[in-house]
Structure 1
């Protein structure tokens, strides 16, 4: 992962941002500002979370989307309008702009993968997932794998179990799961589908924080999906990330699409509030307990 004070979109139209949630304990001023920069429907969604961690993660995700669209289109913050499709996936409602994006959060990080292009260009759909490489289930790893059997194909289990140590098997398991999530988030089907029919073949064996690999392939119902590409990298040694594209062909170089760390100040740069400051709302957020200890 690369650190970068400013947020930008690369010359190839791609953005890869990672926000370290563990380092963000928002001040009162930051919380007032952040919650004034989301739409009313987003604000209502945030209020439904039980834990403060989840509020922070979802709030940062909304701000990342708004910042990405602002940089990609030039639209002012308060003119950007998001909606959700029938599967609940956010998209830009403003007409005439070609942008695709997806957000995910897990462990320490909230991430955004975005793609911008000319207004008359059909862009690939995009899905992203980040996962912490850990297991804290309380039962032996082999027993956990037994319970998860129906979520992986025979080929995937062969790859996972081909590793000798439990730590290597867990990393292989998380990597495959992250790939599956990036795919189902792209197509919007959720994990209710038969995940054994979504079978990945891992290419490069070792992931890196400084280089993106994209040679893993997917078979859906035993058919190779030739027009799909899957970026994979590490954000840090404990978090892997996968980005799924449809209609991304071999000639496109994705190797430089490493995720960059972004901070709160860069996230709200050039902001324009959509809503009035709401102290009562922020007091309700502060009153929520953390799911994980700070």
Structure 2
């Protein structure tokens, strides 16, 4: 089952495709996804959208071995991507994945049994904004305990770092359950010991069926991963899962699987995987 636990990441700052290279990469993806890439005006945004889809299709093909021509990836009403398994059977009870991109990085994480949520943040604020004034706009998204820890963190840089760490974890949880933008982030409160042994309270109740990790990617970027129980998923996302109920022993196996380091991939590697997969169809 550990094969279903994957962590891939791409640094897109190293990818500067020509118009022809970009068109070739686009041609490898199903036509149904093209508009979700070309709708962006800025090339940086197009690159992020492109690499996000390349990661999804390459990971599904490599991990599950599903023929590329039979791979169908859709989104729920709330926007979470999922694999339509259809007639294919594999020995992974609840394969699901999540993607995130911000700044220089695009990443994907998958799990074989638990829900998975992934979020990347780049520690920036809009130009001419003052740190404490900027974060004040988001104070309603945090519990009083979290907010106190943020504003008393120290220097402006330390305050901003604390703010984004909490934000990153909240987003990973919300994305894991498949909820949309309307989810009340203040309802999710995180506790930690020096940002390790991270636990969560939802609506004031500790939830031991979740685990979280937070990593410094460098260049002002952090990434968080949430792993939790499928029964926590919103209804639209539950319908995409094979199973939402497990006995305690089964679930604990999934919850305590190793959390591997991210494997760095290049866009060229992803393109090669999909090109070979497409040619073999």
Give the TM-score band, short-chain normalised: 0.7 to 0.9
Q: What's the counterpart of residue 73 of structure 1?
A: 64
Q: What's the counterpart of residue 75 of structure 2?
A: 84
Structure 2, gaps ≥5 residues long: 230-250
| 3-state SS in 1 of match to 2:126 | coil
Deviation readout 1:149-178 (Å, 9 max, x if unpaired) = 111110101221231111111101000000
| 3-state SS in 1 of match to 2:181 | helix
CA separation of 1:253/1:137 partners in 2, compared to 1, >3 Å: closer, same or farther?
farther
Contact 1:17–1:113 under 8 Å retained in 2? yes
Distance 1:28 1:72 in 2: 30
Q: Does 1:236 align with 2:240?
A: no
Of 16, 31, 37, the match for 1:25: 16
CA separation of 1:181/1:41 partners in 2, compared to 1, >3 Å: closer, same or farther?
same
Of 101, 104, 112, the match for 1:105: 101
Q: Does 1:46 align with 2:37?
A: yes
Q: Would you say how many aligned residue pairs link Structure 1 and Structure 2? A: 251
Moved more, 97-106 or 21-30: 21-30
C-alpha displacement at 1:269, in angstroms?
Answer: 2.6
Q: What's the counterpart of residue 152 of structure 1?
A: 142
Structure 1, gaps ≥5 residues long: 1-9, 117-122, 206-212, 276-294
Contact 1:37–1:273 under 8 Å retained in 2? no
| 3-state SS in 1 of match to 2:214 | strand
Q: What's the counterpart of residue 264 of structure 2?
A: 261
Deviation readout 1:206-264 (Å, 9 max, x if unpaired) = xxxxxxx5x11111110111101112111225110011111364972545x22221102
CA separation of 1:49/1:80 partners in 2, compared to 1, >3 Å: closer, same or farther?
same
CA separation of 1:273/1:42 partners in 2, compared to 1, >3 Å: closer, same or farther?
farther
Distance 2:13 2:178 in 1: 28
C-alpha displacement at 1:71, in angstroms?
Answer: 1.0
Q: What's the counterpart of residue 292 of structure 1?
A: none
The 5-angstrom pairing of residues 193-232 of structure 1 reads 193-205=183-195, 213=196, 215-232=197-214
In proportion to residue count, which structure has more helix?
A: 2
Contact 2:141–2:186 under 8 Å retained in 1? yes
Contact 1:101–1:113 under 8 Å retained in 2? yes
Q: What's the counterpart of residue 61 of structure 1?
A: 52
| 3-state SS in 2 of match to 1:217 | strand
Q: TM-score, length-normalised on structure 1?
A: 0.78
Q: TM-score, length-normalised on structure 2?
A: 0.82
After superposition, the CA RMSD in angstroms is 2.3
Distance 1:12 1:77 in 2: 19
Q: What's the counterpart of residue 246 of structure 2?
A: none
Distance 2:190 2:162 in 1: 11
Contact 1:153–1:197 under 8 Å retained in 2? yes
Of 121, 127, 141, the match for 1:131: 121
Contact 2:2–2:257 under 8 Å retained in 1? no
Contact 2:174–2:180 under 8 Å retained in 1? yes
